[in-house]
């Protein structure tokens, strides 16, 4: 099978890893094809979901928090002559259930996430849909699998064992224990998640899959301080919170200036849904005054679906990791798209670690950036559209 990363192939980075190959080999050895529906969790670029379809599986659900992972897998399906409709692409904001009449998945293949809280959350949400007949296997790189990872499978699913390491990857196989207490599916919705309270009293969803889920990030707070005193808000209406996470930047700006038309965008389904939930809750609680415009909530890659010349200001605290790999590719795409999205006279405001050198990257697309705030670790830069 030919697999590429999405949206662009990256030199030196492949679209699958040793854990994916190990998982597929394990499935080939232990599963009778077609024995109940399959659920693939946290696949990136389709290695697992498309691998199962190629192996003859007809009922495959791919559950992910990443829009890019889903889009990338659909693009790879086309390259490999697989119909994208052969897989049911389920965002993390819904819980995947086996297609009727099945009551349980026959196979769950899970790429183990780095955050243990996220693993626990995913296993809890899957638990109502697995049974003693379900083959349940997780895989990851050895350095990310700890005693607590195995304990998590033990506690949420049933007795778990680990495989030997192969090419620095390891598997965890859990036997579904019918006596392990299972939460019912409805009790695990986003509305049941914890909240964090920001410095101004706004509340945000706290979710293990979200960036900075237990506190407001220091860099975002610095950006918010800086734009308060350094931006002329008078000509500004349309604002983009790009890579919005829990929505801290966009909602805080709306709290200050209720007439803004705010767009929240992220590639994480959960992030965009959490921003929407926080907006609704803060509005209902009277923490936001009635706004002039309803905000927009968009899941895409770096604002890729936002119209040209449609915004006056873009605010970004860019990620500098993609899964476990350090990369400037996402920040670059965010800057390039912002240049396209901004109107003449528009501005971009970016916060980042000093060593990331955004000052010189921004110059590729914008006027020379000005430092509008800094501390020991971070700088906030503001640059104008070249239109």
- The b-or-e profile of 115-129 (16+ CB within 10 A means b, else e) is ebebbbbbbbbbbbb
CB of 249 to ligand SAM, least distance (A): 5
Contact segment (CB under 6 A) with ligand SAM among 173-181, 194-202, 264-272, 287-295 equals 264-272
If binding is defined by CB under 6 A, does position 213 make contact with ligand SAM? no
By CB under 6 A, how many residues form the interface with ligand SAM? 20
* Continuous segment of H or E residues that includes residue 183: none
If binding is defined by CB under 6 A, does position 93 make contact with ligand SAM? no
Q: Which of 116, 162, 163, 211 is close enough to bind ligand SAM by CB under 6 A?
A: 211
* Count, residues in the chain: 387
If binding is defined by CB under 6 A, does position 268 make contact with ligand SAM? yes
If binding is defined by CB under 6 A, does position 352 make contact with ligand SAM? no
| Token pair recorded at residue 268 | 């994480």
Q: Exposed, middle or buried, 10 (CB in 10 Å: 0-12/13-18/19+)?
A: middle
Q: What are phi and psi of 209, to 5 degrees?
A: -85, -10
Contact segment (CB under 6 A) with ligand SAM among 35-43, 85-93, 239-247, 364-372 equals 239-247
CB of 304 to ligand SAM, least distance (A): 8
What binding mask, one character per residue, do residues 47-86 give for ligand SAM by CB under 6 A, x or -? ---------------------x------------------
| Token pair recorded at residue 102 | 């099945």
If binding is defined by CB under 6 A, does position 298 make contact with ligand SAM? no
Q: Which of 33, 193, 293, 319 is close enough to bind ligand SAM by CB under 6 A?
A: 319
Are residues 359 and 379 in contact, defined by beta-carbon separation less than 8 angstroms?
A: yes
Closest residue by Cα to residue 267 from 343, 339, 329: 329
CB of 155 to ligand SAM, least distance (A): 28
Query: Both ends of the chain: CA-CA distance in Å?
Result: 43
Q: Which of 90, 110, 157, 248 is close enough to bind ligand SAM by CB under 6 A?
A: 248
Q: How far is CA 86 from CA 5, 60, 77, 137, 295, in A?
A: 20, 7, 9, 22, 34
DSSP, collapsed to helix, strand or coil, labels residue 331 as helix
Contact segment (CB under 6 A) with ligand SAM among 35-43, 96-104, 266-274, 277-285 equals 266-274
> Can you give the binding site for ligand SAM, defined by CB under 6 A?
68, 211-212, 217, 220, 243-246, 248-249, 266-268, 271, 301-302, 317, 319, 330
């Amino acid at each position: 099978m030919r697999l590429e990363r999405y949206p662009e192939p990256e030199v030196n980075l492949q679209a699958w890893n040793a854990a994916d190959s190990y998982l597929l080999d394990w499935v080939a050895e232990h599963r009778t094809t077609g024995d109940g529906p399959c659920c693939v969790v946290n696949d990136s670029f389709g290695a697992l979901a498309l691998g199962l379809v190629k192996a003859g599986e007809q009922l495959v659900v791919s559950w992910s928090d990443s829009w890019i992972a889903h889009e990338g897998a659909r693009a790879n399906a086309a390259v490999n002559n697989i119909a994208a409709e052969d897989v049911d692409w389920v965002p993390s904001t819904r819980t995947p259930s086996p297609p009727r009449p099945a009551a349980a998945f026959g196979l769950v293949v899970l790429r183990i996430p780095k955050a243990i809280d996220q693993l626990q959350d995913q296993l809890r949400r899957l638990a109502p849909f697995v049974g003693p007949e379900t083959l349940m296997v997780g895989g990851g790189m050895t350095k990310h699998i700890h005693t607590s990872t195995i304990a998590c499978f033990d506690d949420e699913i049933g007795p778990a064992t680990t495989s030997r390491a192969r090419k620095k990857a390891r598997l965890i196989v859990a036997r579904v224990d019918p006596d392990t207490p299972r939460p019912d599916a409805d009790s695990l919705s986003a509305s049941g998640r914890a909240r964090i309270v920001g410095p101004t009293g706004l509340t945000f969803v706290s979710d293990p899959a979200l960036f900075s889920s237990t506190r407001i990030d220091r860099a975002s707070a610095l950006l918010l301080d800086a734009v308060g005193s350094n931006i002329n808000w008078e000509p500004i209406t349309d604002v983009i919170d790009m890579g919005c996470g829990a929505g801290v930047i966009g909602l805080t700006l709306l709290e200050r200036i209720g007439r803004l038309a705010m767009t929240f965008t992220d590639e994480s389904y959960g992030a965009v849904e959490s921003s929407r939930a926080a907006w609704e809750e803060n509005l209902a609680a009277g923490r936001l005054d009635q706004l002039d415009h309803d905000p927009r909530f968009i899941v895409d890659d770096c604002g890729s679906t936002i119209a040209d010349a449609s915004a006056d200001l873009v605010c970004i605290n860019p990620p500098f990791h993609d899964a476990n790999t350090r990369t400037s590719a996402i920040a670059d795409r965010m800057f390039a798209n912002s240049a396209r999205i901004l109107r003449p006279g528009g501005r971009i405001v970016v916060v980042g670690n000093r060593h990331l050198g955004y000052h010189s990257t921004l110059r590729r697309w914008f006027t020379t950036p000005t430092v509008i705030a800094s501390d020991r670790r971070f700088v906030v830069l503001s640059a104008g559209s070249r239109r």
